């Protein structure tokens, strides 16, 4: 009967060390794959939020267009003399669905706080024409008909001086980037360095800084 060969401790150690190295490599690969997966999931979520936002703006443009058709070609003022905002007028007139405070809404971008509808906050701004200092003045469809494809009507908005207490703006002002001040209300690039913008021809586009600068608009990153 053949005697079993003696176990060489050095060979056993070498085999164990090799197995440990293999295990570490596998762990490193799994960690890398998990990081890539997490990044892919985040990108997918951001993209979904951006699409939802664009659809919200598209609904807003449609509501504004129908409102104008019913009101002599005039959009609602961004705020009435009595303090009623354009969004409230569209809701009361049933041009947009009713909203519930504290719930998601077509008037709220899913990528921006507070992510739910609040009567005193809005994440989309209506272009005010040249009348942002006069709440009672409105813009009309004739103001944008000649160049609707490049006239911003409704967009992601924020105060230029971005802070945690008041970031949103009900209206946006057309000011070049160099002209913006702390109190300016402008387009907000909240979607991975881009801002969703609705134009006078009914189109909605994801605009990058260069696009807005060509149109004479400033922005907030």
From first to last of its 221 residues, the chain has per-residue pLDDT tens of: 555 555 555 555 555 556 888 888 888 999 999 988 888 888 888 889 999 999 999 999 999 999 999 999 888 888 887 878 898 899 999 999 888 877 778 888 988 876 777 766 678 999 987 655 555 566 777 777 778 889 999 999 988 775 544 466 788 988 999 988 888 889 999 999 999 999 999 999 999 999 999 999 999 98
Q: Looking at residue 85, what is its pLDDT? A: 86
Domain of residue 57 covers: 51-220
- The answer to whether residue 36 is domain-embedded is no
- The answer to whether residue 41 is domain-embedded is no
Phi/psi-derived region of residue 65, left when phi > 0, alpha when psi is between -120 and 50, beta in every other case: alpha
- The answer to whether residue 182 is domain-embedded is yes
CA distance 154 to 126: 5
Query: CB-based burial of residue 104 (10 Å sphere; 0-12 exposed, 13-18 middle, 19+ buried)?
Result: middle
- The answer to whether residue 46 is domain-embedded is no
The total of structural domains in the chain comes to: 1
Q: Looking at residue 122, what is its pLDDT? A: 76
- The answer to whether residue 30 is domain-embedded is no
- The answer to whether residue 5 is domain-embedded is no
- The answer to whether residue 198 is domain-embedded is yes
CA distance 65 to 60: 9
């Amino acid at each position: 009967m053949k005697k079993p060969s003696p176990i060489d401790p050095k060979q056993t150690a070498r085999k164990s060390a090799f197995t440990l190295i293999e295990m570490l490599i596998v762990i490193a690969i799994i960690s890398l794959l998990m990081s890539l997966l997490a990044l892919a999931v985040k990108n997918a979520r951001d993209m979904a939020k951006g699409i939802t936002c664009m659809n919200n703006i598209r609904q807003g443009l449609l509501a504004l267009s129908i409102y104008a058709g019913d009101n002599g070609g005039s959009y609602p003022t961004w705020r009435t003399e009595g303090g009623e905002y354009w969004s409230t007028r569209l809701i009361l007139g049933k041009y947009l669905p009713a909203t519930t405070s504290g719930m998601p809404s077509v008037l709220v971008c899913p990528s921006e706080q507070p992510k739910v509808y609040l009567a005193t906050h809005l994440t989309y701004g209506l272009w005010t024409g040249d009348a942002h200092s006069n709440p009672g003045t409105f813009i009309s469809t004739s103001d944008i008909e000649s160049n609707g494809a490049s006239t911003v009507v409704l967009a992601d908005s924020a105060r230029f001086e971005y802070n945690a207490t008041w970031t949103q703006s009900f209206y946006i002002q057309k000011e070049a980037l160099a002209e913006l001040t702390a109190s300016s209300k402008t387009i907000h690039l909240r979607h991975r360095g881009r801002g969703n913008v609705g134009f006078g021809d009914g189109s909605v586009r994801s605009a990058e800084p260069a696009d807005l600068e060509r149109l004479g608009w400033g922005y907030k990153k």
